[in-house]
A = this chain, B = another copy of it.
Amino acid sequence: MSLVIVGSIGLDTIETPMGKRTDALGGSAVYGALAASYFTSVSMVGVVGTDFPPEHIELFEKKHINLEGMEILPGKTFRWHGVYHGFNQAETICTDLNVFDAFDPRLPQSCLSCKSLLLGNIHPQLQLNALDQIRQYRFVACDTMNLWINNTREQLMEVISRVDIVFINEDEVKLISGKSNVFTATDDLLTLGVRYVIVKRGEYGAIAISKDSMFFVPAYPVREVMDTTGAGDAFAGGFMGYLANISILDAESIKTAMRFGTVMAAVNVSSFSVEALAKIDTETIEHKYKELIGWT
């Protein structure tokens, strides 16, 4: 496989100003893998329960997502229920870890030497456990969230020091550093040795920052946002999926990755759950990519 994605696989109940879905397919690994599947061959490492609907497995297979690393354990699949009052931040109504409580990523043999690895937003110790298994990876990236910044800072810092790319929300990079300026805040992560910090700014786009370069991409305009769940995961999936075909991590490849990530995030928020991510085609992705360049 070219890209391995480790993360959550879940069934989400989501309420937004545009409607509601119950037990819809979700999870950081799922959004990432579906977005990446348009660019490269993907392997998904995660866990589901025996109640996981077979049609979702069919979708993964249709997208040629390798499932050797997806365990099926006795019990129920991870579930999350969130309500969006606006579109920026969901209020969590309930989280049932279920089989995810026992999750410890085991990368199958086929994934130990791959081109790239994306560690979705899960407990930093699990991210470290995955990192301990890999050999000869070209690019390794991680995502994270405020929960881990606040509660497991030391382990998170170790993860960050061991990856090439960090995906992080603007609020979170400020939280890590205790600085209110996004640029000075990012300096602190770069000194840990990470090569690119990708600061996600939601509807305002993203910034890629390295020690000697910077690149801004606006969000691709979406006139009817349905559900922003998984937008960051779809961004990271598109980004890392594109990079899996690239041999050098330089300013040009990062620009292209930022734009493809942006397009996949926009596709994702235009529907509930993974509805649009499952249906999009390469031609439309390329068209949106070119539009984005024309607008910047």
Contacts and interface: CB of A to CB of B under 8 A. Distances in A.
A184 interface: yes
Interface in A203-253: 204-205, 207, 214-218, 221-225
Contacts of A222: 183
Q: What band does the interface of chain A fall in when counting residues whose beta carbon is under 8 Å from B?
A: 20 to 34
8 closest A-B pairs by beta carbon, nearest first, are: A216-B218, A204-B204, A214-B295, A183-B223, A183-B221, A296-B296, A216-B296, A216-B295
A181 interface: yes
Contacts of A225: 181
A138 interface: no
Contacts of A184: 223
How many copies the complex holds: the figure is 2
Nearest to A203: B182
A139 B44 CA distance: 56
Contact of A218 (B180, B205, B223): B205
A25 B87 CA distance: 39
Given A183-B223, A204-B204, A218-B218, 9 more contacts: A86-B180, A181-B224, A183-B222, A201-B204, A215-B295, A215-B296, A216-B218, A216-B296, A296-B296
A86 B86 CA distance: 22
Interface in A137-176: none
Interface of A: 86, 180-181, 183-184, 201, 204-205, 207, 214-218, 221-225, 295-296
A211 B162 CA distance: 47
A219 to B, nearest CB: 9
A21 to B, nearest CB: 21
A180 B215 CA distance: 28
Contacts of A296: 215-217, 296
17 contacts: A86-B180, A181-B223, A181-B224, A181-B225, A183-B221, A183-B223, A184-B223, A201-B204, A204-B205, A205-B216, A205-B218, A207-B218, A214-B221, A215-B295, A216-B218, A216-B295, A217-B296
A58 to B, nearest CB: 34
Nearest to A17: B180
A184 B183 CA distance: 31
Contacts of A86: 180
